[in-house]
Amino acid sequence: MKAYLGQEVIDYGRLTGGDDFTSFIVNGRYASFEDHVIASVDLSRGSRLQTLQENDSSADLVSIPPLKNIWDGKQYSTIYSPGGLIAFCPKSADAETVEACMTYLDWLCTEEGGFAISHPAVVRLGERYFLYYSVLFGDILGIGIAFSDDMERWQEYGRFPATQECESTGVGAPGAIVRDGKVHLFYQTYGTWEKDAICHAWSEDGLHFEKDESNPVFRPTADWCCGRAIDADVCRFKDRYYLYFATRDHEMRIQKLGAAWTPLTSDFSRNSWTQACRHAILAPEMVWEQECTEAPACVVDRDRLYLFYGGAYNRKPQQIGCAVSEDGIHFEKMDSLPFLTNGEPGSWNAEESGHPFAFRDTDGTVWLFYQGFDGETWRITRTKLDFRDGRPVLVI
């Protein structure tokens, strides 16, 4: 740890003790210093910030962002490596105590225990893949961020911050695209029922985002639906970007899909979107879809737009269907049966294979990400897709 006083750099190791270092901070003698954040704000450790403000109510500790790298002009921030949850049992503990400890850890990883990830969206930016997903932070739904070099081993980065008034009750169900070297994230507000709407943010590194000041950027008119918009998916098709979303009827019973579009030069802000039609582009019709079509996920192949979707509400079970369009607005379902079904009893996706996200990698490979549920734990997986004779097929 180092502190900076005028032009002098003081090495913490040369100080007579930690008390001197802390004393200089809480009495305002340091203009700047380096140390762990938690050491300055954690009340259980004395909270230097609290003591500093008791001495001078106008004082504050402000974090300084990293300096730009002189070679590439970027700012790099280190992150903590994910360590998971580590529990220690003493060697003297009996087998029953150890088993109880592990049972508790297993429970913590379930939805009831408070850990549940769902609603995947994946993009590639440079040599990295980025995964955005819904996750509970306490009792508030939020968006988590992870990254990977190979889509096999993922490293959790942290939380997409909810900073705007419209995000105060929660956000989730992200969709993402990359345009001109930036990740554009489209996500929904959560917790306001028929008032939920689509928001937009963008990032140059896939981790740190700037919010659209016009958020929320889209919700449909309430003449053909309740006015709600969730489960955003945006894709480029022909000469436009299309936004597909889920909404409900006025009774809030039937979940159906709608569409909007914006020009290729769009900034994706609120005034840029035009509702494509005043009717559903897809609605539940098949027996297996029950009362719900949601979670649109699009991929383009040979001038046709394929839209994967979740049929039936979560755990009913939800399964994945597919429809195809020549113009981005009029869709035809490709089969009366699910394209991808839920698993057998006892399997990881016994109660659901749902909320898909379609992603085409830079080498042309298409991946279908989706979530599964076994009755206790939500999981996310992927499977490769191919297109044969105008139809998508799973590559096992």
54 versus 72: the higher-pLDDT residue is: 54
Which pLDDT value is given to residue 59?
Answer: 85
Model pLDDT, residue 82: 42
φ/ψ (deg, to 5) at 38: -60, -30
Q: How far apart are CA 277 and CA 257, in angstroms?
A: 11
Number of helical H runs and strand E runs in the chain:
4, 23
Mean pLDDT of all residues in 376-382? 93
Integer Cα distance of 271 and 17 in angstroms: 59
Q: In this predicted structure, what is the pLDDT of residue 147? A: 95
What does the alpha-carbon distance between residue 225 and residue 249 come to, in Å, rounded to a whole number? Answer: 5
**Of all helices (H) and strands (E), which one includes residue 183?**
strand 182-189
Q: What is the pLDDT of residues 14-46, one digit of tens each?
A: 444 446 777 788 788 777 777 765 556 554 445
Tell me whether residue 144 is exposed, middle or buried, using C-beta atoms within 10 angstroms of its C-beta: 0 to 12, 13 to 18, 19 or more. Answer: buried
Q: Please state the rounded mean pLDDT for residues 60-69.
A: 72
pLDDT of residue 177: 98
What mean pLDDT is predicted for residues 145-156? 94
Question: Would you tell me the crossing angle of helices 18-26 and 48-55 to the nearest 10 degrees?
Answer: 50
Kindly list the domain boundaries of the chain, sorted by start residue: 2-55, 104-395
Mean pLDDT of 206-233: 97
Architecture of domain 104-395: 5 Propeller (2.115)
Please compute the mean of the pLDDT values over residues 106-113 and round it to a whole number. 54
Displacement of CA 54 from its chain's centroid (Å): 39
User: Considering only 112-116, 169-173, 249-253, 336-340, which range has the smallest mean pLDDT?
Assistant: 112-116
Q: CA 270: distance to chain centroid?
A: 21
Look at residue 363 and tell me whether its pLDDT is greater than 60: yes
Poorest-pLDDT segment among 18-27, 127-136, 150-159: 18-27
User: What number is the average pLDDT over the span 351-374?
Assistant: 97
Mean pLDDT over residues 214-219, rounded? Answer: 98
Segment 124-142 mean pLDDT: 93
Collapsed DSSP state (helix, strand, coil) of residue 326: coil
Run of H or E including 108:
helix 95-108
Whether the predicted pLDDT of 184 surpasses 60: yes
Average pLDDT in the chain: 87
Mean pLDDT, rounded, for 199-208: 98
pLDDT for the residue numbered 95: 75
Tens digits of residue pLDDT in 275-284? 999 999 999 9
In this prediction, residue 288 has a pLDDT band, given cuts at 50, 70 and 90, of very high
Instruction: Work out the angle at residue 270's Cα, subtended by the Cα atoms of residues 244 and 275, and round it to the nearest 5 degrees.
Output: 40
CB of 36 closer than 8 Å to CB of 63: no
Assigned token pair, 8: 């002098």
Between 53 and 313, whose confidence is greater?
313
Give the angle 126-187-287 at the CA atoms, nearest 5°.
Answer: 110
- DSSP letter at 82? P
Q: What is the pLDDT of residue 88?
A: 61
68-82, 133-147, 236-250, 347-361, range with the lowest pLDDT: 68-82
pLDDT over 70, % of the chain: 82
Lowest mean per-residue pLDDT among 81-95, 147-161, 323-337: 81-95
Is residue 91's pLDDT more than 90?
no
pLDDT band for 75, please (50, 70, 90 cuts).
Answer: low
Nearest to 30 by CA among 78, 62, 77: 62
Q: What is the pTM of this model?
A: 0.74
Q: Taking the CA atoms of 60, 65, 67 and 68 in sequence, report the sign of the dihedral they define.
A: negative
pLDDT given for residue 14 in this prediction: 41
pLDDT for 244: 98
Q: What is the dihedral of CA 223, 201, 152, 74, to 10 degrees?
A: 170
Q: What is the pLDDT of residue 77?
A: 56
